[in-house]
Structure 1
Amino acid sequence: MREAGLTHGGFYRHFESRDELVGAAVEHALAQGSARTVAASGQGGRRALEAIVDDYLSPAHRAHPEAGCAVAGLAEDISRADDRTRSAYGRQIEQYLELLAGLTPGTDAAGDRRRACLVLSALVGALAMARAIGEGGLSDEILSETATALKEL
């Protein structure tokens, strides 16, 4: 609070607890992160999916978690958060699944949902692993091979 130039009293006028602050911050981060994905989906269909995959699994996204997707960046922390924060995270996951299912519609809704779960899980998992490893050979390979596999779906 001191570093931000605020007092504890000022803080508690806006938030009743630390959990409320964290929840609001996570909701904001999730909304910011989804804006790029939603914008890319505007192309529609396969082109949109490929644009999302390329952007999400890029070295630039790996290198800048502070400006990237909060779904990947906060997954571990969210698992220990309060119900409000976990609920916000779940709503964002649901939005991504709906968006992804609509980009490559198949013959049935269950298949679309299954494919969306696979795509989102691969995106988030590959990015998290690549970030954990750091820049370089294996990290680059994880990003590029996952992107190629997702585009081949």
Structure 2
Amino acid sequence: MGHSQQDKRKTHERIVEIASKRLREKGLEGVGVADLMKEAGLTVGGFYKHFASRDELVVEAMQAAFGAWTTKVRSEGRAPEDIPLQEYAATYLSGEHRDDTAGGCPFAALTADIARAGERCRSLATDQMKMNLHIMQARINTTDETQARRKAIITSCLMTGALGLARIAKDESLASEILDTVKAFVNEVGTK
């Protein structure tokens, strides 16, 4: 790969990374191409050297957002499915995660936006949801597959909703209570 192709790839990745964060902060419709390119230190005209459309960027940014946690975990030499439920819940339902909208769970940040998004974005989210539920199911302490699946769905929905509600709360005490209550409830589900 030539130097200019390598530079173009790095620039492309930087744009996607910035978009991934800004979309989680401001919503799928809350980020304009001009602002995004300005933040990346590029011109609006340069956008079309990297993407055919804004929708294409949104899909790539969502892929990056969905893969960010797994990439981080794997870089630490761990597999996501090996993280026990209690440890996962402690991290997911933490004040740090609540405050890190830009780097946090895209489902908690963008549920309503994704529901209104185009087919490609919704398909991507559906695939990620299936993978998340599969991993969550492996964390549930039961040999009954139907019961494990049921608990995985309930636990995933509960955690995502709790994080979203804690982000909404302007009362720190209430936000912490939501996270702590759901964390305690999830811990009762048990681990493998």
Q: TM-score range by the shorter chain?
A: 0.7 to 0.9
Q: CA deviation at 1:141?
A: 0.5
User: Which consecutive segments of 4 or more residues in structure 1 shift more than 2 A?
Assistant: 4-10, 33-44
Q: Among residues 108, 118, 122, which one is paired with 2:158 in the alignment?
A: 122
Q: CA deviation at 1:7?
A: 3.7
Q: CA deviation at 1:35?
A: 3.7
TM-score, normalising length from structure 1? 0.87
Percent identity among equivalent residues?
Answer: 35
> What is the number of equivalent residue pairs in this alignment?
150
1:69 is matched by which residue type in structure 2? C
Q: Contact between 1:62 and 1:131, CA under 8 Å: does it hold in 2?
A: yes
Partner SS, residue 13 of structure 1: coil
Note if 1:90 corresponds to 2:129: no
- 1:51-72 CA deviation, whole Å, 9 max, x = no partner? 0000000011111111211121
Aligned residues: CA RMSD: 2.0
Alignment of 1:57-136 (within 5 A): 57-134=93-170, 136=172
Partner SS, residue 153 of structure 2: helix
Q: Contact between 2:81 and 2:135, CA under 8 Å: does it hold in 1?
A: no
Q: CA deviation at 1:43?
A: 4.1
Report the Cα distance in structure 2 between the residues aligned to 1:133 and 1:40, rounded to whole angstroms: 33
Q: CA separation of 1:30/1:134 partners in 2, compared to 1, >3 Å: closer, same or farther?
A: farther
- 1:66-110 CA deviation, whole Å, 9 max, x = no partner? 121112112121112111111111111111100010112423221
Instruction: Indicate the residue corresponding to 2:178 in structure 1.
Output: 142
Q: Among residues 19, 22, 27, which one is paired with 2:58 in the alignment?
A: 22
The structure whose Rg is larger is 2
1:112 is matched by which residue type in structure 2? A
In structure 2, stretches of 5+ residues that fail to align are: 1-33
Q: Contact between 2:81 and 2:139, CA under 8 Å: does it hold in 1?
A: no
Q: CA separation of 1:36/1:147 partners in 2, compared to 1, >3 Å: closer, same or farther?
A: farther
TM-score, normalising length from structure 2? 0.71
In structure 1, stretches of 5+ residues that fail to align are: none
Q: CA deviation at 1:6?
A: 3.1
Instruction: Indicate the residue corresponding to 1:54 in structure 2.
Output: 90
Instruction: Indicate the residue corresponding to 2:187 in structure 1.
Output: 151
